Structure 1
Amino acid sequence: MARPPGHGPSYEVKRQEIIDLAAGLFAKNGYAATGIVEIGEAVGLAKGALYYYIKSKENLLVEIQERVLDPLVNIGNQITDVDTSPAVKLRLLSHALLDMIFKRLDHIWVYEHDYKHLTGENLTQMLKRRHEFEGIVRNILISAMNEGIFLKTDPDLCMLQFLNMHNHTYQWLKTDGRWDAEALSKAYCRTLFTGFAGGAFDFISLETEVSRIQTLGGY
């Protein structure tokens, strides 16, 4: 969201702080059970001052959703354009998605649980954005099937398998160092791709190419 005219850098710093704290409260207590007064107390602002930064409680929910979706859609589009095989693209996308979950765990809780509280145009736009990311995954899977890398099957079901394995990580993830996004991405893709490929897949070549692309593009 663009900064309103006349607001200096400190305005945006405070607004981002409020969004972070709200994400933590929503993740802990639920969006519906968290009131504006509670958010204001957490950030040290009265209700009127809080609305100066956020406009509404629902707008906070929009901001949290966008913090998850916008980067994922953007990097998904970038990965789609990389000159490499569809399997490598999926592995890169897997890492990007898990990296988001590790970095914004509170946001992911809210993203998964509370988007249904959005209303009207906010809900319409958020669902459209979600479908856009799903479409990126589906199109890469279709390319892999068309190239004979994966078995031909229902691409919608494959897309849901891919996203469900990744998206549910937030339910058990502990950032204690046992796993990181890279380790989980390798494990998830090995499991999924072996099934997709009918039991045979060249993972050594895959990981070599992933390393090459990551070095070039920083994915």
Structure 2
Amino acid sequence: MARPPGHGPAFEGRRQEIIDQAASLFAKKGYTATGIAELGEAVGLGKGALYHYIGSKEQLLVEIQDRVLQPLLQRARVIDALDAPSLVRLRLLSEALLEAILSRLDHIWVYEHDYRHLTGTNRKRLVRQRREFEWLLQGLLEEAMEEGALRRTDPRLAALQFLNLHNHTYQWAGTRGPAWTAAHLSEEYCRTFFGGLATDREALEKLDESVAEVRGVLTAD
């Protein structure tokens, strides 16, 4: 579909730059404390020109949330559909979540702190997408319990524990060592999490090898 006049590649590139700057400002000051005039000054645009690119301040928040959640949710769906043991898919989901966090720290800060300022259909859509990700995670945990890989416990509580282990990484990720990649952190987090729920320690020791095999298939796709 052809873009409307004035909305070509240059327009889109400039709009993406504005979203990046907004994420940086919102992460430092908060969404409500950052005014349109301040954002306009940061990107070198007057109020009218700025609105031409962004539509509204809330739309900026929508774009930041979408940059985080939409690729992550798409990746989670692919991982969930893999023909692989549940623990392998959980490990890959952990890695995908950490990759999203480490690649966009400003966006994650806004995602975690400011999503409540969304209104109406924007907020409903975001909540629905967040819940889908949580349901995918919970479903994989339930599979692992059904398979006997993890002991029986409340799957909702297990999902919240999994998320709590990962989601606050953004708070200190800027100080992490160079070896603390998403893959490394995922390995350590899952070793801790699975270790507390594992029913077969020997199978758990072989998990890294199984993950490496399936990751190759996932990358090829």
Whether TM exceeds 0.5 here: the answer is yes
The one-letter code sitting in structure 1 at the alignment partner of 2:78 is: Q
Q: Which residue of 2 aligns with 1:143?
A: 143
Q: In the aligned structure 1, how far is the partner of 2:177 from the partner of 2:38?
A: 29
Kept after mapping to 1: 8 A contact 2:88/2:210:
yes
Q: Which residue of 1 aligns with 2:178?
A: 177
Q: Which residue of 1 aligns with 2:43?
A: 43
Offset, 1:114: 0.3
Q: In the aligned structure 1, how far is the partner of 2:3 from the partner of 2:62?
A: 17
TM-score between both structures, scaled by the size of structure 2: 0.94
- Partner of 1:152: helix, strand, or coil? coil
CA offset digits 1:100-120 (Å, max 9, x no partner): 111000000000000011111
Q: In the aligned structure 2, how far is the partner of 1:203 from the partner of 1:39?
A: 49
Of residues 168-177 and 16-25 in structure 1, the stretch that sits farther from structure 2 once superposed is 168-177
Kept after mapping to 2: 8 A contact 1:88/1:206:
yes
Q: Which residue of 2 aligns with 1:5?
A: 4
Of residues 101-110 and 189-198 in structure 1, the stretch that sits farther from structure 2 once superposed is 189-198
Q: In the aligned structure 2, how far is the partner of 1:3 from the partner of 1:172?
A: 43
1:65 matches 2:88 = no
The one-letter code sitting in structure 2 at the alignment partner of 1:104 is: R
Kept after mapping to 1: 8 A contact 2:65/2:115:
yes
Kept after mapping to 2: 8 A contact 1:65/1:107:
yes
Kept after mapping to 2: 8 A contact 1:194/1:201:
no
Q: In the aligned structure 2, how far is the partner of 1:113 from the partner of 1:3?
A: 36
Q: In the aligned structure 2, how far is the partner of 1:3 from the partner of 1:33?
A: 37
Offset, 1:200: 2.6
Give 1:34-113 correspondences, 5 Å limit.
34-113=34-113
The one-letter code sitting in structure 1 at the alignment partner of 2:148 is: G
Offset, 1:72: 1.0
Give 1:154-173 correspondences, 5 Å limit.
154-173=154-173
Kept after mapping to 2: 8 A contact 1:3/1:12:
no
Q: In the aligned structure 2, how far is the partner of 1:208 from the partner of 1:200?
A: 14
TM-score between both structures, scaled by the size of structure 1: 0.95
Offset, 1:176: 4.7
Q: 1:63 to 1:3 in 2, by over 3 A?
A: farther
The one-letter code sitting in structure 2 at the alignment partner of 1:170 is: Y
Mind listing any 5+ residue stretches in structure 1 that lack a counterpart? Answer: none
Identity within the alignment, %: 54
The one-letter code sitting in structure 1 at the alignment partner of 2:4 is: P
- Partner of 1:218: helix, strand, or coil? helix
Q: In the aligned structure 1, how far is the partner of 2:184 from the partner of 2:152?
A: 28
Q: In the aligned structure 1, how far is the partner of 2:83 from the partner of 2:210?
A: 11
Offset, 1:204: 3.6
Q: Which residue of 1 aligns with 2:198?
A: 197
Offset, 1:195: 0.7
Q: Which residue of 1 aligns with 2:215?
A: 214
The total of aligned residue pairs comes to 218
The one-letter code sitting in structure 1 at the alignment partner of 2:123 is: L
Q: In the aligned structure 1, how far is the partner of 2:29 from the partner of 2:200?
A: 43
Q: In the aligned structure 1, how far is the partner of 2:64 from the partner of 2:20?
A: 8
Kept after mapping to 1: 8 A contact 2:149/2:199:
no
CA offset digits 1:160-208 (Å, max 9, x no partner): 0001110011111125515111111000000000111158353342111
Offset, 1:3: 8.9
Q: In the aligned structure 2, how far is the partner of 1:210 from the partner of 1:200?
A: 16
Q: In the aligned structure 2, how far is the partner of 1:86 from the partner of 1:195?
A: 16
